[in-house]
Amino acid sequence: MPATLAPVHLMPPATPQYDALTDRFTRIHRFAHLQNIAHWDQQANMPSRGNEARSAALAELAGLLHRLRTDPALGSSLDEAGSEGLDEAQKANLREIRRQWDAATSLPEALVERRSLATSRCEHAWRSQRPANDWAGFLPNLKEVLAIYREVAQRLAERSGMTPYDALMDQYEPGMTTVKVRQVFGDVRAWLPDLIRRVSEKQAREPVLQPHGPFALDAQRALCERVMQLLQFDFSAGRLDVSAHPFSGGVPEDVRLTTRFREDDFLQSLMGTIHETGHGRYEQNLPRALLGQPVAEARSMALHESQSLAFEMQLGGHPGVARLLSPMLVEAFGDQAAFMPGNLHRLLTRVKPGFIRVDADEVTYPAHVMLRFDIERALIEGEVEAEDIPALWDAAMMELLGIDTRGNFTDGPMQDVHWAEGLFGYFPCYSLGAMYAAQWFAAMRRAMPDLDARINDGELGDVFGWLNANIWSQGSRWTTDELAVRASGETLNPAHFKAHLESRYL
């Protein structure tokens, strides 16, 4: 008999340089975990007198993280790891590590620490200056933040070859440019005013009952948490709190969401919570086995906003979801005719130009984003100064929405925390995200022709399953265009957004 041959086991190729990189980024992830929780606490729990010490601590931590990200040894590891026979997932991770390395090594540590201090100071002061309509008090801090971000943008641009504003936008939306955004937004500007007019005329003939308050804050909070459970948020890995401006923070292992409450308006907290729950579910379902590595992070902020707006707008405005919410509202606030499903759906889809972006309906919402994009791009490129913001804001609000904001800084250029925190380049992601959300639902309906019937029956699991399989679990494995094609068969196509609005509202 022939001798039995022992099986041959092929060892995977050694990847010492790649392994060194992943070890380093696991450490960075753990320090960033603490940084993110400290940021959340600063905005949700910290007493006001703690801000100076917290700002200094966060600046120190920002410097530490910057040193970890810019260690010269990482540069040589990056160069050598590419020839180590990596698999496709490892190559994607290496691509994302290099993207972070390029951005980090463009900035000196002193600038990173100065940025952290300035944004902490500006955001903290904004909390009291906004309700006081104190633009004059806000302006000096904003000018300091703007000056720092112009320097950041210039350094990133010199490294990348982009324009300064594109270099900032690339930090949130890799591959996106001003040229692309202007093309997309230009198309929306061409049809949005007429759509708003037609929808307003149609809805003027459709009476809607307004709910009667006040709405107790504890009942609102209980309602929001119950709706988060309906949307399958994992409370064992996250929580809901209160802040001056709703946001999602923390880390995938410990997601922190916030909302804000008003006794006279429960819809603000409810829809804000639904929005943030979309962010939270994305974070909670990123590829767990790869957490700590850049490839396991959300791909881009437009994709992140596509999740929050898929929840808030696509689902939140669906008649089937109104039927699910109706008995919850009755239980929370008592029986009112306004809470009947049909009336509630009309409330949730009411189109009315208003001052506040986060409270805007999905038809007028793009106008708020286009206004901010135009202003912040001009600010970063040095075409206008911070002192020019109110006049630019007033003119654009009148042009786009017919609203007079003169002298109203609280509901005008101070309403968002983004510029106080230095988030220049972020705003376009909101409307790009709304377009992606419409595209995802168009793809879902092709795959599940009875999707709307399922939602009408209260079955939301198929929506979450599709999002998990196509978006959440993919992390940053693919470029944004590749992910869009894999999920929906095409790159970003704004036609789906227009078709969605016309179908729902006309």
Q: Specify which residues 238 forms β-bridges with.
A: 255
Nearest-5° Cα angle at 56, 54 to 58: 70
On whether the CB atoms of residues 275 and 227 are closer than 8 A, the answer is no
Phi, psi for 248 (deg, rounded to 5): -115, 140
Which residue do the tokens 């010269």 mark?
72
Could you tell me the two tokens for 2?
């022939």
d(CA 210, CA 372): 31
Q: What is the DSSP string of 322-373?
A: HHHHHHHHHHHH---GGGSHHHHHHHHT-----S-STT--TTTHHHHHHHHH
d(CA 350, CA 371): 21
Q: What is the DSSP string of 404-468?
A: --TT--TTTTTS-STTTTT-TT-THHHHHHHHHHHHHHHHHHHH-TTHHHHHHTT--HHHHHHHH
Coarse DSSP helix, strand, coil percentages of the chain, rounded to the nearest 5 percent: 65, 5, 30
Considering the candidates 113, 123, 276, 283, report the single residue annotated as catalytic: 276
**Does 312 qualify as catalytic in the annotation?**
no
On whether the CB atoms of residues 351 and 203 are closer than 8 A, the answer is yes
3-state secondary structure 144-199: HHHHHHHHHHHHHHHHHCCCHHHHHHHHHCCCCCHHHHHHHHHHHHHHHHHHHHHH
What residues are annotated to the active site?
276
